[in-house]
A and B are shown apart, each in its own frame.
Chain A
């Protein structure tokens, strides 16, 4: 495969056009986030005056919604980061990504249930799905290389068959992956939600497990960032994202890089499946749900960008939970409104680069 095989597309040629205005916009965003963070800090730690309680239902509801939004964002990030990595490098939208999530969850359930070790379930979710990802890359996507549309269509076909086969094996029941004792239960946070008439403070309690999910997402996000920016493989991946033809022309085994990315992406989906299946539950239909969530997250955040996935996940997670509390009727619609607005302002997403 040489560089001559690929005619320069419009996107590759115009890559420099957006760079000039990007910095100031980023600074503006930084300022915005700083102010928002200050406001949130006050909202979290201050004892609320009555008028605020009246507007926002209760402090408990508000703070919980924020925390839930952030922890849900952690889960979304885990799923979407794999999705965005695969897209960034291979330009194919893997619409079977949700199926990978669900399969990971089922496998995690089986392993955790039979061995009794939850961590073993999490690990197997990652490893088995990484293997599945490699198989998919080698036997399916590699054969259709260069034909984005057919790759996408094939992934739709795979997701339909996979969903039906999983229904055959695990039936339509709801599975819960039991969280180990040391992660279970609620944690009392140093956040006062209300003061009783006798002067005693009521503290906020929050599920420990969800905080662990958030921590895991942060650790994995940092790990991914380090891998992409500090390792040789990461260097190759970034080079591949920017110019795939150039990378292969310089003697790198592109197929190996593709396989690694697919393994990591699919493995992360499987990992997220087990983690998410423990926080919520595992049932048919979750595949579509998480596929849509990752779609919206990466459209908002910018395709192919890890930091974009993090920002997108945060926005969507918060919008979903805040929406659920304050305007439940249109909570789900809110996330799509954010998507359309993001597209209108930045067609390639918040962190998306023009290619």
Chain B
């Protein structure tokens, strides 16, 4: 299916604006102008946070949508990057903190996350299908417990605090507007990378492996290497999200990488939809809004019932999340507009 899609897209000459499509352009303009109308809280706690979790879910979407590997360890990967920033850079917890400058610590943290992701991938691709979800859940839990118990590296239950986002080019990147644009920049980069990557040779091979690993193996492709490399790439995106997350929170602790957060990331990806890279961001926005404001609407007590039910309904009604839901409603709307037309 994906192969034919790619063939269609190899359309005749287009300008880059045409290629981008009006939807993307309007979205981009709206996102760029968003800080003009939003309060600081909406900029960071809703906007920035949604973009960060959107990136996390995007890395999951990439593995699940194109590689057929549903991972619950994406927050673990992000957590490794976050801890790396705290350990290599500065923190005020009096543990480690090597004081590396941000331009050294951040790339290193992302690399560490990507390598960890590849390692998790290497363990879990030995099995297949539904096993992956179990093994990654177990790995996520193990990392959580280890971080909670280990004081030498992870500083135990309290974790690290006092981590600052960098200031350069005269900008403090933790200021609401700057931070929002920082998140937006990396989110757009990841999004574009996935859109492009899905149609690259590697992306197509990965999708073919998802659909029929035996045939691909017979054709001479190294299935394991392709999958592990996909994990590595997903790890880069998750690692970036982790760096942004630790700059955003100013702290990281085992609670940041808990099992409930791991499940949240999966929920975000599924609610948004696993078919298109915009899905994770949509899902993140919906879930972050719900998480933030549910306490004002239904009270804190039954919040999880609400989110669980929304999740259940979406999985039942529309396997492709909100995107799929839209895909189902659209034909009816189109018919309506035809009937009411002149």
Contacts and interface: CB of A to CB of B under 8 A. Distances in A.
Please say whether the chains A and B touch (CB closer than 8 A).
Answer: yes
Contacts of A333: 142, 145-146, 149
B145 A336 contact: yes
Given A150-B315, A157-B315, A348 B127 contact: yes
B270 A164 contact: no
Nearest to B137: A295
A343 B150 CA distance: 24
A113 interface: no
B33 interface: no
Contacts of B302: 164, 168
8 contacts: A93-B133, A152-B130, A164-B304, A292-B137, A295-B137, A295-B138, A299-B131, A333-B149
Contact of B129 (A148, A158, A165, A329): A148
A29 B214 CA distance: 33
B149 A332 contact: yes
Interface size bucket, A side? 35 or more
Interface string A125-153: 00000000000000000011001111011
A160 interface: yes
Give the dominant DSSP class at A's interface: helix
Interface stretch (B247-255, B284-292, B306-314): B306-314
Interface string B128-169: 111101110111011001100110000000000000000000
Nearest to B156: A329
A67 B23 CA distance: 65
Interface string A276-309: 0000000000001000100110010001000000
Contact of A158 (B149, B301, B312): B312
B126 A149 contact: no
B127 A347 contact: yes
Nearest to B64: A149
B316 interface: yes
A340 interface: yes
A344 to B, nearest CB: 7
A292 B309 contact: no
B312 A157 contact: yes
Given A10-B214, A150-B319, A343 B149 contact: no
A50 to B, nearest CB: 31
Given A168-B301, A330-B146, A344-B123, A154 B138 contact: no
Nearest 10 pairs between A and B by C-beta? A336-B142, A160-B308, A161-B308, A157-B312, A164-B304, A347-B126, A164-B305, A157-B311, A332-B145, A148-B130
Nearest to B214: A10
Given A153-B270, A333-B142, A333-B145, A299 B134 contact: yes
B236 interface: no
Contact of A339 (B131, B138, B146): B138
Interface string B267-281: 100100000000000
A92 interface: yes
A305 to B, nearest CB: 14
Contacts of B309: 157, 161
Nearest to B311: A157
B266 interface: yes
Contacts of A296: 138
